[in-house]
Amino acid sequence: DVKVTQSSRYLVKRTGEKVFLECVQDMDHENMFWYRQDPGLGLRLIYFSYDVKMKEKGDIPEGYSVSREKKERFSLILESASTNQTSMYLCASDRTGNYGYTFGSGTRLTVV
């Protein structure tokens, strides 16, 4: 069964900490995405990547960075966590050609 795995389901971090959210896919997909989901705001794209070492900003990249050193892994980094980054973070991948995204189970991050 093909999968996108997010390293943590729940995470609690302190304000100012550097936070790493990891995402791994086993489908050899070229494209990977990070979204955050907040009540009333839907899913908003933070960053995406079409290839190894390649990244592009989404709609809300401020306060975040990403890393894609290997095709299967796409990491989201919160350089200095703030309380307004408390959210559900969703990673997704797909192959070029619009076949539909495969999502991970999500990481619910709380910044205190």
Residue 4 makes contact with other proteins by CB under 8 A: yes
Total residues belonging to the chain: 112
One residue of 7, 13, 43, 77 binding other proteins per CB under 8 A: 43
Minimum distance between the CB of residue 112 and other proteins, rounded to whole angstroms? 20
In sign, the C-alpha dihedral spanning 28, 33, 34, 38 is negative
If the CB atoms of residues 72 and 103 are measured against other proteins, the closer one turns out to be 103
Minimum distance between the CB of residue 46 and other proteins, rounded to whole angstroms? 12
Q: Which residues bind other proteins (CB under 8 A)?
A: 4, 6, 31, 33, 35, 40-43, 45, 48, 50, 58-59, 88, 90, 92, 94, 96, 98-106, 108
